Structure 1
């Protein structure tokens, strides 16, 4: 590729501005990365050096005793199992409930579309509060169960708005042609809309 003989010279003000922006961004990146580096350094350092406060950035000594203690703890694998189960179930229920909620809201023929959209929008700005939320969970009988971790976050107004907007951008002619072929709304959602 041939290099252009003409070079646009940046004004001095632009170069100074970009330099200041790069310095600020570098400081922000270092401030965000330092806690992670510190945790890794502490986890592989000699415990005596950590207690003495000698570990700041680089590890002092080398000891994997913290990892051995962590892995040998009786609830270590239970905690990982719970993490995997909560993530899998949470993802499934979030996608399922968001899709079946956003699909009707994306259709102009759905008469309660405007009202329900406003109701979901209100929940983005106003929460029930911690105590009423706890009492609701208690009355539903989901305290101390897996469902208290999965179900409350399964339906998010923000996710509904995002998915509804995506569904509205899909050409209506796809749904109409499926209606002509005898497809129902659930079939259209599962076989046409979601694969897109």
Structure 2
């Protein structure tokens, strides 16, 4: 197939802008990584940082030796893993019946669920609800209120609608009930969309800090992003910074903490990336 001159020009321009956009997204990571391995003097040098000119491991040693950041990491991993698993479980159980045309009042239920995407009770009613449920100072306060994402559940519902009904009919002939069909047939066939939704949910849980600030006063339950916020924004680093270090190496330690916080998600993403486009596209075919 012959490509016209105009199409070639368009492709060149498109590649240029994609490359420029990629650099704009990747450079902040390179900048912070370079500062985290730099000496204190090099870290405060104005300009762009592509690599550390004066290599120093002091910041990483201070970050990795702090017990609070490991405690926060454990709490964040618990929240991310358990929250993502439960979200996928309950969204699957909610999306599966909505995908069935024979469900009575299916359109009504779908509309009611969609409404929650645009309207909510607000911050104060949400806090009062969590408090009335006895979830204050509990890890479950970070998981249960956001257990189901309406948008993600609708994508999952649309994906389930694309699964041939003949497969489920044959399973029913063999004596399988709806729950068994869901967990042994439908969910295994839905790996692309589930991997995509798992990535969305995991990133959301990993980056969340505001709900932890609202619902948790027990410092043993602190999450990684709230620890990072206190260090970077309010400069409350706890034991991680002494008074002398606050002035000399604050920038390098902040950069090392930011990289420590981001690395787990950066490591996990490549394993789920191959499912990302496929899961999103297939899950949005049917209304």
Give the TM-score taking structure 1 as reference length. Answer: 0.85
Q: How far 1:163 sits from its partner (Å)? A: 1.5
Aligned residue among 116, 122, 137 for 1:129:
122
- Count residues in correspondence: 189
Q: Which has the higher contact order (CA 8 A, sep 6+)?
A: 2
Larger radius of gyration: 1
State the match for 2:199 in structure 1. Answer: none
CA distance in 1, matches of 2:36, 2:175: 62
Name the SS for the 1:121 alignment partner: helix
What is the Cα-based RMSD across aligned positions, in Å?
2.1
4+ residue segments displaced more than 4 Å: none
Of residues 82-91 and 51-60 in structure 1, the stretch that sits farther from structure 2 once superposed is: 51-60
Aligned residue among 137, 151, 155 for 1:144:
137
Name the SS for the 1:151 alignment partner: coil
Q: How far 1:20 sits from its partner (Å)? A: 2.9
Aligned residue among 61, 64, 74 for 1:68:
61
The structure with the largest helix share of the pair is 2
- Taking a change above 3 Å as real, the CA distance of residues 182 and 14 of structure 1, as seen in their structure-2 partners, is closer
Structure-to-structure mapping, 1:173-184, within 5 angstroms? 173-184=166-177
Provide structure 2 residue ranges, at least 5 long, that are not aligned to the other structure. 190-287
- Taking a change above 3 Å as real, the CA distance of residues 166 and 41 of structure 1, as seen in their structure-2 partners, is same
State the match for 2:165 in structure 1. Answer: 172
State the match for 2:107 in structure 1. Answer: 114
- Taking a change above 3 Å as real, the CA distance of residues 172 and 9 of structure 1, as seen in their structure-2 partners, is closer
Name the SS for the 1:194 alignment partner: helix
Q: 2:30, 2:49 within 8 Å by CA — same for their partners in 1?
A: no
CA distance in 2, matches of 1:169, 1:16: 38
Residue 155 of structure 2 is aligned to residue 162 of structure 1: yes
Residue 73 of structure 2 is aligned to residue 93 of structure 1: no
Provide structure 1 residue ranges, at least 5 long, that are not aligned to the other structure. 1-6
Q: Deviations over 1:34-69 (max 9, x none)?
A: 110110010000012213446633313010111111
State the match for 1:35 in structure 2. Answer: 28
State the match for 2:192 in structure 1. Answer: none
CA distance in 1, matches of 2:35, 2:137: 34
